[in-house]
Amino acid sequence: MDTERAKMKYDRLSKDEAALLIIDHQSGLFQLVHDQIPEVFARNVCALADIAKVFKLPVVVTTSKEDGPNGPLMPDLRERLTNAKVVRREGEINAWDNAEFVKAVKKTGRKQLIVAGITTDVCVAFAALSALEAGYKVYVVGDASGSLCIGSSIGAMVRMVHAGVQPMSWFAVASELMRDWRDDQGGGFKKLMAEHVPNYKQLIDSYEAKKQED
């Protein structure tokens, strides 16, 4: 146990090293998500997409059998990720088994992969574990991923963590990429928080008031 702890280190997300992978956030598959409140889950997914825009992260999107009941990419994501590479899989359950998807990930040139999708225990876990095996550092965003039930998502997270995947929330991803309020020169981070965490706006207002005093 001491040896294992000695090997552990704080691998911070970096906006210069990270890429976002959006896996099967499709309108049909969205109906399978029962471990989260639908509107909260949708907001979390949109927040993650907005994070990619704020920090200019490369994004790779993949869908599975769009022409079937899985349906197209969620409309809110289509609006936000207009420039993202989209890989449309025709059969592979594990996105990492699709050569075009792996090629797109490699093309980003990034070694930190922020991953979210539907479902957590299948499409997310399979791809995350495969990416980890391929030498990437993998960060799974639990609140922007969904499963059929809470037990499924918990079991998947345990499995991934044991393998070396790092679980995070979208809020933690945004904060770790930002690191310092003073770097928010364009106000993108502040806008992100105000839009997706309504109560957080009070903190932002307090911060702005303090700046004016100074």
Active site residues: 123
Separation CA 27–CA 163 (nearest Å): 30
Separation CA 203–CA 123 (nearest Å): 36
Burial of residue 64, with CB atoms counted within 10 A of its CB: 0-12 exposed, 13-18 middle, 19 or more buried: buried
Q: Which two tokens stand for residue 159?
A: 């499995």
**Beta strands 85-89 and 112-117, pairing class:** unpaired
Q: What is the CA radius of gyration of the chain?
A: 17
